[in-house]
Amino acid sequence: MNNISIIGGGPSGLMAADILSANGYAVTIYERKATFGRKFLMAGRGGLNISNSENLDDFIKNYGIKSSIFKNIINNFTPENLRDWCKGLGERTFIGSSGRIFPESFKASPLLRAWIKRLDQQNVIFKLNHNWLGWKKDNLIFKTKSGIIYIESNMTILSLGGASWPNLGSDGSWVKILKDQNIKVSNLQPSNCGFMVEWSKIFSKRFEGKSLKSVSLSFQDKKILGEFIITKNGVEGGAIYTLSSLLREEINKNGVAKLILDLKPDFNIKETNKRLQKPKLKLSITNYLRKTLNLSDVAIGLLMELPDRNNSSPEKITNNIKSYALILKKPFGINRAISTAGGVTFNSIDKNFMLNNKKNVFIAGEMLDWEAPTGGYLLQACIANGAFVANNIIKKYPLNKPH
């Protein structure tokens, strides 16, 4: 049982290959694209946030309703283990001021190159441009440049990603394949995504691409400080992504989500109202808000979107500033999301992450029904999940090595 096929050359699949090949298993990785780790490289385009130094109990809470499942996965391969693993590939890491963990090179490409090199040295076989189409009896079917081929495999790890950034390789085409095998897959939805807002043409034209910084965002019992970006048709960015799963579910349930913004969180209501008691004199409302509260142009622009923008009392303006209701209509498309929610349900797999109705076929990574915010939680979980599956296979099917 030492012949293992891994389908998908992203972080989960590569980590499973790393551990298995280092322990003497014969591993072949099949990747539909011409190169490995395309989404991994995209994640590192602005600086590879590979994990987070948050204490482990709080770290695991970021997996929401799946936290109890991910406790075992993360404990099996912790952020500290990940840092040691990076160091072993010649890529030291550092902890940023926000607690996020980055490679010292701040890039994904050096780490990926070192990773592929080590896999090659561990005799992993690479099969690029192999598009998986499913099974014919127990054989794997691949579409290649030379035509359709069938591969016999003792064990298979499926690590095909979600459906975000489909041009990079993970387009969710595996959903139909698995459903045809009576494997339960919950609907794939955008996660860590932006949302549609009905801006006026004036606001959209003026502020598209601009950031709203140092604001407080509140939804249900969650409140965070951060920033986000105004887009032509809505909002996106770090603070929005952090709340995206809650906002998406609210929209699924009620059609819209009301996100409450505090446009001036460093002033309380009393101080804000006090400053707005100053005479307006001949100042326009925009210059008045800029002068009295030092509001940014984007924040003032948001206030100008309100129907009562010109004839409001100080108390009304204060309320609008401290409790601005931003109405979100729907998430941006899944192809624009950073990640996806949904996937193979956890009741479709056993404790080793093997499919219940497909013997010796294991699932790893974003294919599974979970989600997490950005900040290092996504990559840590994908890599740790690949390690978890590999270690389970080693325990379940140990090699009979001669002494």
* CB-CB neighbours of 387 under 10 Å: 22
Token code pair at residue 187: 């609907």
Q: Give Dmax over CA atoms of the chain in angstroms.
A: 91
C-alpha span between 131 and 379 (Å, rounded): 24
Indicate whether 264 pLDDT > 70. Answer: yes
Mean pLDDT of all residues in 55-73: 96
- Residue pLDDT, tens place only, 190-239: 999 999 999 999 999 999 999 999 999 999 999 999 999 999 999 999 99
Contact 69, 352 (CB under 8 A): no
User: What is residue 226's DSSP assignment?
Assistant: E
Ordered domains of the chain (ranges, CATH) = 3-191+339-396 (3.50.50.60), 195-328 (no CATH)
Token code pair at residue 206: 């003026």
- Closest listed residue to residue 117, CA positions, set 236, 36, 34: 36
The radius of gyration of the chain from alpha carbons, rounded to an integer in Å, stands at 24
C-alpha span between 164 and 190 (Å, rounded): 7
Mean pLDDT of all residues in 340-360: 97
- Residue pLDDT, tens place only, 276-324: 998 887 888 889 999 999 999 999 999 999 987 766 788 999 999 999 9
Q: Per this entry, what is the length of the chain? A: 403
C-alpha span between 329 and 310 (Å, rounded): 26
3-state secondary structure (DSSP) of residue 255: coil
Quickly tell me which residue has 């054989």 as its tokens.
139
Predicted model pTM: 0.92
Contact 338, 164 (CB under 8 A): yes
What letters, b where the CB count within 10 A reaches 16 and e where it falls short, cover 155-172? bbbbbbbbbbbeebbbbb
